[in-house]
Structure 1
Amino acid sequence: MPYTTEEGGRLNNFAVEPKMYEAAPPSETQKRNYMILGVTALVLVGGLMAVAFAVS
């Protein structure tokens, strides 16, 4: 485990850092799925608001 010694003789431990990687942009299929999920969420929230309005 990597550590450093401070001037008072205390050890300072550091966590092992994970490897960095660059994220890939979403594919066309992923973009389509995100759009479908977004529309579904909007319809669900709209429906819940309509039910809450109708009940009150």
Structure 2
Amino acid sequence: MRFKKAQSSANQLAKTAISNGPIKGINRKIKALKRIHYGFKNIDHFYARILLIVK
């Protein structure tokens, strides 16, 4: 069962050539930023930094 599901996913990836790697990279950067900004009072600065990371 697992092999068929994995094979289906692999076939789909080969057809579309779309990867979720860039999204995972952005999420990793946001999580690191969250750790850095723990305890800061101004949430607007946090959101501004996220926008700088994403662009």
TM-score surpassing 0.5?
Answer: no
Larger radius of gyration: 1
Decide which structure has greater strand share: 1
Larger RCO, structure (CA 8 Å, separation 6 or more): 2
TM-score of the aligned structures, taking structure 1 as reference length: 0.42
